[in-house]
Structure 1
Amino acid sequence: MATKNKTAATTADVTAFINTFVDKEQKKQDSFRLVALMQAWTGAPPRMWGPTIIGFGSYHYRYASGHEGDAPLLGFSPRKAEFSLYVTVPGKEDPELLARLGKYRMGKACIYFKKLDDLDLEVLEQISKQSVAYVKATYPASS
């Protein structure tokens, strides 16, 4: 039986979320800057996904296992300890690009960082655009 992703797009207000959820002024400023950057990089407006993820655009995926769902093309969450940036670049294939990104740590499909000033924004833009291009090529019916 196919299962669906538990994190879905909502109608919650992104600005209200940032203003109420984020308790540090620098993290709020970084969050609003990420919203502007990601909107420019994806061409899609910000939208809440679940209670704490800000996503841009969307795509529908279906794996061979039958698991399917919708996810943002690009997204982030201003978590308490650090930001989680949701990207989909297969296999972390560009170690040189990642080496130039700045101060971060990598998860399976997330880049974690404390503040935007820790990252090279030109490199972040390249990674983000590669992620969007990969998703669109892999799931061409997506928007």
Structure 2
Amino acid sequence: MRPSGGDVGAFLLDVTPARRRADAEALVDLMREVSGREPVLWGTMVGFGACHYVYPTGTEGDMPVLAFAPRRQATTIYLESTDAHAEALSRLGPHTTGRGCLYIKSLEDIDVDVLRDILTRSLAWTEAGGTDQMTITVTG
């Protein structure tokens, strides 16, 4: 995965429905605050920073340090693992999860301070270099 170089502002203008667009704009502000980095498009994901990962199997690649994707059904926020945030997620409000994805239908319905904490902890994990299951080097 690589940054696609598109215009984040133009991308956000095309997000539908309007509620998802407003959430995406708010998430840009929140992730910019948490990461200290500017948003960059990675295809249809809005990413902040960049890192290179390597698994013990030799599989490797690049990804944003923090990222989200505004999808029609829900906004997807990418995390290292949702299991790592189980306690915080119990306090977040309405959401669903996948292995490393947090799905939110509306930021108005969740506790944004809890989300900020989750993002801060996810960023710290990434910047610390991951675990024995994955080595991460922050590159941007």
User: What TM-score, normalized to structure 2?
Assistant: 0.89
Asked whether the 8 Å contact 2:4–2:42 carries over to 1, the reply is yes
The alignment's C-alpha RMSD in Å is 1.4
1:80 to 69, 72, 75: 72
Choose from 100, 109, 117 the match for 2:91. Answer: 100
Alignment of 1:1-143 (within 5 A): 7-20=1-14, 22-50=15-43, 52-89=44-81, 92-138=83-129, 139-143=136-140
Separation (CA, whole Å) in 2 of partners of 1:103 and 1:25: 19
Q: CA deviation at 1:47?
A: 0.4
Tell me the percent identity.
Answer: 37
State the partner residue of 2:132. none
Q: In proportion to residue count, which structure has more strand?
A: 2
1:38-69 CA distance string (max 9 Å, x none): 0010000000012x100001111011111111
Matched to 1:103, the amino acid is P
Unaligned runs of 5+ residues in structure 1 are 1-6
Task: Say if 1:77 and 1:85, in contact at 8 Å, map to a contact too.
Answer: yes
Q: Which moved more, 1:59-68 or 1:91-100?
A: 91-100
Question: How many Å separate the matches in 1 of 2:8 and 2:22?
Answer: 13
Q: Is the 8 A contact 1:136 1:142 kept in 2?
A: no
In 1, Cα distance between equivalents of 2:138 and 2:20: 35
Count matched residues. Answer: 134
Shift of 1:141: 4.8
SS at match of 1:93: helix
